[in-house]
Structure 1
Amino acid sequence: MYEAVALNRNSSLNHPRCDLHVFVFWLKLTERRNCHPDDNEYTSCPRVSFDFSGRFLPPVYILVFIVGLVANGWGLKSLLHNWKKLGNINVFVLNLGLADVLYLLTVPFLVVYYLMGSTWIFGDVFCKITRFCFNLNLYGSIGFLTCISVYRYLAIVHPMRVMGRITVLHSVGISVLVWLLVSIQSLPDMFFSKTSGNNTGKCYDTTGKIYVEDYLKYSLGWTLTGFCIPFLIALGCYGHVIVVLCRTNTTDKVLKQKCLKLLFILILLYSVCYVPYHVLKNLNLWSRVLLNQRLCREWSNGVYIAHRISRGLVCLNSALNPLVYLHGDENIPAQLRRLLQRARQAALRPSSTPSQVPLM
């Protein structure tokens, strides 16, 4: 037996082509071992819990869909009922509601996706459309909230400069510009691969592992232009507004309360919805890039789960944005109070009992 092996070795020395085939076979074998997720090299990598999305996201999406659709539908109806009296801020609020409704119409498909164990059955094109609508809603909401903040700043800090100069037509033009900029920012996302598999497979929020490094660069730039800059503008505007209101004793108390309420709404939206999502999204992309480079991190699983939680929280902006309606239109709080009063009266109204029915 050993002699046969020795003969084979000696014969291989005389045949370099055979050595080349052996080397190629060995190279392919090592590549397969290195790329296999169950290889010993990956035994130290924490296993990512992909089942968490299927348990957490569907209930959140269902809640957001019901609350968001009812609240935005009612708010838009109230605004459009008096559309001839729309002010500058209400134009931005109206566009904010349209962005919410556009995204909410795609939520049922995402519920089906996660209930089916992250299996997308609606095709690659519609997967990209749903993700595009999500991005339009997210960055459109941030853009219109920033417009509201800037307008409030100009109206309070520089009232004489803008009095009568900014009309509803200007607000409409600015709204069109916001939609255009958000669409341009979101358009490159459509060119990244969003699905895996032929007929049924994943529908990625970002992209597959092949292009994840390029997507991380795109996401960082997108975060800077679509989130960080508008956030700093809104923060600066309201910081200055609060300083001016606190220094001026003659300021109308109602105006001061309105500004404080809107500031609270913005803080709520940014702290709950926007900031966690952008931070954890980029951290999760970075962990995927490291994994592609065969670098395992113990925090990868925790970052993934936290990112999925933030993915659910960022959708809450479609249910929380209607709070801006209460601030933007004075008629809406009055209508809400009347509606609650009618409901309370209907609940307290005594129902007829058999003893009260007259006998014939």
Structure 2
Amino acid sequence: MTSCPHISLEFTGKFLPPVLVLVFIVGLVANGWGLKSLLENWKKLKIINVFVLNLGLADILYLLTLPSLVVYYFMDSKWIFGDVFCKITRFCFNLNLYGSIGFLTCISVYRYLAIVHPMKVRGRLTLTHSVVISVMVWLLVGIQSLPDMFYTKTSGNHTKGCYDTTSTTYVEDYLKYTLGWTFTAFCIPFLIILGCYGHVVVVLCRKNAINKVLKQRCLKLLFILILLFSVCYIPYHVLKNLNLWSRVLSKQKICHQWNNRVYIAHQISRGLVCLNSALNPLIYCHGNDEISAQLRHLLQRARPMFKCLSLSNFRLCPRYINHK
């Protein structure tokens, strides 16, 4: 055998466009509403909300690049926007992904300090500190993501193909780079979050004097983080590196039957990791009581409409809603 069997790329064009459209609509509405609520209460801004604000900005930055990707996949993976914009699009994805992980880590550490060491940090953590830390997170994420832009991202005279990784020519070097990138930008923050919340859970179980509202917030945030990491982040990083490894093996004429299955699984994980931009707004509800109250109010107003839609006579709907 001179080469490995060709992997079908049709699945990507069928799976990713609907996911990206859904993420764009839900993410833009949810993040727009959340950021608007935060900015309206700027004077009441808390330390943790600075990290939440940056989390939302990272999501908006990525969401604005999704229309071009939807066009790309609808056109059978033909990139018509040029090499520079391809690299910018992929760079924005990485800023969003690792910026989100970075700010989630900051939020987790802040919650850890507020519960485990409340007296030591009281009055010592200020808005200025949170702003400086946010700038450092952006710089660190940008530095880690910058080498990715120097790898080949397009093929076919800039009119076909916009790789999320790189071409087969440089795949061995890219695998080494992405393994180090995964360790520093994902594994280390993930271990920090696990350590923080492992200790927090122990403290919450031992102490009954801790405020009940604070306990509920921590448990809610823990649930959101488990959801984000188990659905979005862990599958993506595992399957991305596994798919790159399978490409290296194929280049070396080492063929496996699981290559195609790994590719499909990786494409599914790419769709799932995009969901983080639609799921991150859950953090707004965790960190801001007023946003949670607004959401409950909206749900209460929407409930009569859903009941109305279930009625057989739709002409009764306006009267029903007005009565409510």
Note if contact 1:46-1:301 (Cα within 8 Å) is conserved in structure 2: no
Partner of 1:144: 103
Q: Taking structure 1 as reference, are residues 351 and 70 closer, same or farther at Cα in structure 2, changes over 3 Å only?
A: closer
Q: CA deviation at 1:352?
A: 5.6
Note if contact 1:53-1:308 (Cα within 8 Å) is conserved in structure 2: yes
2:203, 2:20 → 1: CA distance?
A: 40
Partner of 2:55: 96
Give the counterpart of 2:202 among 225, 243, 250.
243
Q: Taking structure 1 as reference, are residues 350 and 204 closer, same or farther at Cα in structure 2, changes over 3 Å only?
A: closer
TM-score by length of 1: 0.84
Match of 2:78, SS? coil
2:177, 2:229 → 1: CA distance?
A: 22
Partner of 1:110: 69
Runs of 4+ in 1 over 4 A off after TM superposition: 345-350
- Please say which structure displays the higher CA radius of gyration: 1
Deviations 1:146-198 (A, max 9, x none): 00000000000000100010001100000000000000000000100000011
Partner of 1:267: 226
Match of 1:202, SS? strand
Q: CA deviation at 1:345?
A: 5.4
Q: CA deviation at 1:252?
A: 1.9
1:41 aligns with 2:8: no
Note if contact 1:46-1:298 (Cα within 8 Å) is conserved in structure 2: no
Q: Taking structure 1 as reference, are residues 305 and 345 closer, same or farther at Cα in structure 2, changes over 3 Å only?
A: closer
Q: CA deviation at 1:298?
A: 1.4
Gaps of 5+ in 2: 309-315
Give the counterpart of 1:185 among 144, 162, 170.
144
1:294 aligns with 2:253: yes
1:351 aligns with 2:318: yes
Partner of 2:312: none
Segment drifting more, 203-212 vs 335-344: 335-344
Deviations 1:257-276 (A, max 9, x none): 11111001000000000000
Amino acid at match of 1:334: A
1:73 aligns with 2:32: yes
Note if contact 1:284-1:307 (Cα within 8 Å) is conserved in structure 2: yes
Q: CA deviation at 1:121?
A: 0.4
2:42, 2:213 → 1: CA distance?
A: 24
1:209 aligns with 2:168: yes
Partner of 1:222: 181
Q: CA deviation at 1:346?
A: 6.5
Q: CA deviation at 1:249?
A: 1.6
Partner of 1:36: none
Partner of 1:19: none
Give the counterpart of 1:281 among 240, 255, 259.
240
Q: CA deviation at 1:65?
A: 0.3
Q: CA deviation at 1:255?
A: 1.2
Note if contact 1:284-1:304 (Cα within 8 Å) is conserved in structure 2: yes
Segment drifting more, 119-128 vs 46-55: 46-55
Q: CA deviation at 1:351?
A: 3.5
Q: CA deviation at 1:254?
A: 1.6
Partner of 1:310: 269
Give the counterpart of 2:16 among 57, 66, 76.
57
1:199, 1:218 → 2: CA distance?
A: 24
Partner of 1:86: 45
Amino acid at match of 2:235: P
Give the superposed CA RMSD. 1.4
Match of 1:165, SS? coil
Gaps of 5+ in 1: 1-39, 354-360
Amino acid at match of 2:165: T
2:274, 2:136 → 1: CA distance?
A: 24
Partner of 2:295: 336
Amino acid at match of 1:351: P
Amino acid at match of 1:41: T
1:272, 1:207 → 2: CA distance?
A: 25
Deviations 1:78-127 (A, max 9, x none): 00000111101100000000000000000010000001001100000000
Q: CA deviation at 1:251?
A: 1.9
Amino acid at match of 1:339: L
Q: Taking structure 1 as reference, are residues 193 and 341 closer, same or farther at Cα in structure 2, changes over 3 Å only?
A: same
